[in-house]
Amino acid sequence: MSLLIAVIGLLFAGRLILKNYNPQGVLFITGMVMMAISIPLTGTALVASSTGWVGFDIFEYISKTFSNRAGGLGLQIMFIGGFAVLMSSIGASQVMVRVAAQPLMRLNSPYLMLAFAFILGQALSLFISSATGLGLLLMATLYPVLIRLGCSKAAVASVLASTCAIEFGPGSGNSMLAAQTAGMDIAEYFVSKQLPVISALIIIVGVIHALVQRYFDSKEAINNNDETISESQDSEDHAPLYYLLLPILPLFLMLTFSKMGIGTIRVNLPTAILISTFISLICELVRLRNITTIFKKLQGFFDDMGKVFASVVTLIIAGETFAMGLKSIGAIDALLTAGSQAGFSASIIVLFMAVLTFSISALMGSGNAAFFSFAPMVPQIADKIGANVAEMMLPIQLSAGFGRTISPIAGVIIAVAGIAGLSPFDIVRRTLIPMLAGWLIMLLITFGMSGQVMEILPFLAVIIAGALILATIKKRKRMQQAIAS
């Protein structure tokens, strides 16, 4: 019964979100309904300290979640969001992208440059956390150069839209939630868990991306040498060269003043961002010599923190409410029981959750909505099956970014397609193979590092075979339609 209710809840929520209903509202309502159903079904208490009536306990849980998240993980994400917009408003992000892109412009091989462009974009995503923002910056700087070198606009747009597919680093909301759920410091999670995986993964996906784009370009026989767009002439692009160091400051402070650096001093993420914000505003004051403008930029930092709360932090809380609904009706316990009876190991359950996260991210166009809904369940599952939370979390967290990048309704896909004058489906058609390949390689690497790769190989073979069969069916249908027309 609990699994049936969970499936109905998942289908209901997914259908509404696909119809562009507000995801926060959908997740809140679905989670609350499942919690209400659980009261007579299981009789399990929703909160440790009850209000005295189970009906109010649902809202007490949401209230406590708001309180906990707003002052912890939520505050960190708000600081990151405000700082990212501040870096763009003072021109620091633009300077960083422009300087980082200059070495690539000296390459004469267009597809080699495409591979390096992907790698560069992924490196910059460590400091520019917005996928849409980074994609637009790269479209303003690298897009015209790559077009002039002979790449098609679809190839360039597809690569630049993919530059946040592998989400990692302290600036990623998914990474922060994964680290906190695993009980790890974000810097430690980044260095010990993410870096060993993504360092090789980014290069591999970049090479695959370039080869796939070359195949599509040769197949379509497109020459776009005369196509270009005007480069951004934002006045903030005239910020001084040393401003490229400002977006790096938070990461530098966190890694330097930690147990991996100077262990006697510890600087956490919010403190690092506040210090970096103060230094950035001092630099702006020296440059502009206008205290009124500086105060306006500071107020803009606070305003953007509020926007991040409204969009991202509320989505985390809504996701936790939805997850609590699934827990309260006993769906997690029922799933684990069914898995153990079927002989499924911990690795198979993690693979199942990674597939689910990848699929839902692709359908929703948001990696956050899927991951925020499932991440809170991982510690309970890990405890039941005796697995390491961080090792379970990593493939699930990375699956969200890969899934989002093959969605035609993802914000970054729509924004980049609009600038390039393409349909989002034109871009997704070219990102599908690199992202699927990268996702499968990521699973092999993460499970290989935990010594469980042999257990998941048969299931991965089934996934690959299914994908090939679907691709063959679609290709035959297109051929039949072409013949009929």
Instruction: Specify the DSSP class assigned to residue 52.
Output: S
Burial of 392 per CB tally in 10 Å (0-12, 13-18, 19+): buried
Task: Look at residue 455 and give its three-state secondary structure.
Answer: helix
Tell me how crowded residue 216 is: count the other CB atoms within 10 A of its CB: 18
Place of tokens 């691709």: 471
Burial class (CB in 10 A: 0-12, 13-18, 19+), 409: middle
In angstroms, rounded to a whole number, what is the distance separating the alpha carbons of residues 237 and 164?
23
Instruction: Compute the C-alpha angle 313/318/323, nearest 5°.
Output: 125
pTM of the model: 0.76
Output the CA angle 74-75-77, nearest 5 degrees.
65
374 closest CA partner among 335, 340, 338? 335
Angle separating helix axes 346-364 and 367-374, nearest 10 degrees: 150
AA identity, residue 225: N
**Cα separations in angstroms, 77 against 1, 123, 172, 366, 368:** 37, 20, 8, 16, 12
CB 269 within 8 A of CB 82: no
Separation of alpha carbons 294 and 309, rounded Å: 23
**φ and ψ of 74, to 5 deg:** -60, -40
- The residue among 467, 472, 457 whose CA lies nearest residue 432 is 467
For residue 53, what pLDDT is reported?
Answer: 81
CA quadruple 174, 179, 183, 184: dihedral, nearest 10: -170
How far apart are alpha carbons 116 and 423 in whole angstroms?
A: 25
**Neighbour tally for 104: CB within 10 Å:** 18
Q: Which of 18, 4, 8, 70 is nearest to 410 (CA)?
A: 18
Q: How confident is the prediction for the chain on average, in pLDDT?
A: 83
* Assigned token pair, 46: 């929703």
Closest by CA position to 144, among listed 434, 420, 452? 420
What is the residue whose two structure tokens read 């422009």? 98
Question: Phi/psi zone of residue 222: left (φ > 0), alpha (ψ -120 to 50 degrees), beta?
Answer: beta
Q: Is 482 left (phi over 0), alpha (psi -120 to 50) or beta?
A: alpha
Residue 166 phi/psi, 5-degree rounding, is -95, 100
Place of tokens 């004051």: 285
Contact call for residues 427 and 157 (beta carbons, < 8 A) = yes
Residues of the chain with pLDDT under 50: 223-236
Measured distance CA(156)–CA(403) in Å, rounded: 20
Burial class (CB in 10 A: 0-12, 13-18, 19+), 103: exposed
CA distance 228 to 251: 35
Distances (CA, A) of 359 to 14, 246, 365, 398: 11, 36, 10, 12
pLDDT value of residue 319:
82
CA distance linking residue 432 with residue 168, whole number of Å: 20
Alpha carbon distance 172, 174 (integer Å): 5
Sequence letter at residue 83 = F
In the numeric block, which tokens belong to residue 149? 């070198």
d(CA 190, CA 168): 7
* Rounded (10°) angle between helices 453-484 and 346-364: 30
